């Protein structure tokens, strides 16, 4: 099962843009801040809140930002807005929803609901997730394969921070593929306490596109 998934993800590399893909024009951004809220995150909440605060405090400009979480299913925490105070309040009270990490399905749903229809705004995904190394028995890879062609074709950009104590699963492989092919930032860390520092670096990458 693991080998089949790795092959399916790897096959896409030859069909997608290379890592130098750039959005076309400098339209304003719409950023979906997509955050793991599965049960795994519960003991990491202090670090997650601090990392979200760094991103919201350090990112310049007035890009629209939506806060979405992935615990079990898509959950809209804050609809797209340029109101940083509203976003900071949600980040400061961020909690785990429990359940499994539905990062791939939530990413695809967020793109469909929040990015595809964003008139003259560049699509940006910022993913903060854990990876426990699992290989799901569902069709997450097929769903991703359908999504990625369209996202790349629209000039989307994806950045990711992955918290992974050891090993790695399909979540890491998918995000590695997506960030490389959209020219985004990606960092894998072993402990959640490193998240605020990494988020500061990620913010610099997002800001450079503005």
Per residue in 53-84, pLDDT tens? 999 999 999 899 999 999 988 999 999 999 99
Task: Show the tokens assigned to 106.
Answer: 């939530």
Specify the range with the lowest mean pLDDT, choosing from 17-21, 45-49, 157-161, 198-202.
17-21
Q: What is the pLDDT of residue 5?
A: 42
Q: Is the pLDDT of residue 169 over 80?
A: yes
- Say what the pTM is: 0.87
| Residue 77: count of CB within 10 angstroms of its CB | 18
Question: Mean of the per-residue pLDDT values for the chain?
Answer: 87
Q: What is the pLDDT of residue 188?
A: 97
Q: Is the pLDDT of residue 14 over 70?
A: no
Tell me 111's DSSP state.
I
Q: How far apart are CA 139 and CA 116, in angstroms?
A: 22
- Alpha helices by DSSP H, listed for 2-139, are 2-11, 45-58, 84-92, 103-110
């Amino acid at each position: 099962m693991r080998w089949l998934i790795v092959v399916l993800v790897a096959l896409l590399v030859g069909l997608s843009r290379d890592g130098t893909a750039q959005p076309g024009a400098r339209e304003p951004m719409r950023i979906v801040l997509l955050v793991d809220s599965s049960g795994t995150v519960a003991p990491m909440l202090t670090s997650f809140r601090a990392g979200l605060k760094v991103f919201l405090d350090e990112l310049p400009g007035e890009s629209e930002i939506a806060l979405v979480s992935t615990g079990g299913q898509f959950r809209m925490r804050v609809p797209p807005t340029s109101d940083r105070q509203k976003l900071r309040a949600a980040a400061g009270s961020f909690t785990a929803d429990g359940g499994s990490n539905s990062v791939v399905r939530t990413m695809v749903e967020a793109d469909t609901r929040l990015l595809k229809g964003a008139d003259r705004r560049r699509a940006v995904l910022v993913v903060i997730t854990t990876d426990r190394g699992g290989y799901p028995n569902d069709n997450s890879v097929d769903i991703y394969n359908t999504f990625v062609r369209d996202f790349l074709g629209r000039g989307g950009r994806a950045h990711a921070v992955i918290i992974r104590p050891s090993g790695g699963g399909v979540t890491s492989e998918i995000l590695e593929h997506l960030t490389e092919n959209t020219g985004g930032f990606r960092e894998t860390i072993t402990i959640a306490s490193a998240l605020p520092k990494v988020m500061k670096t990620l913010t610099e990458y997002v800001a450079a596109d503005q």
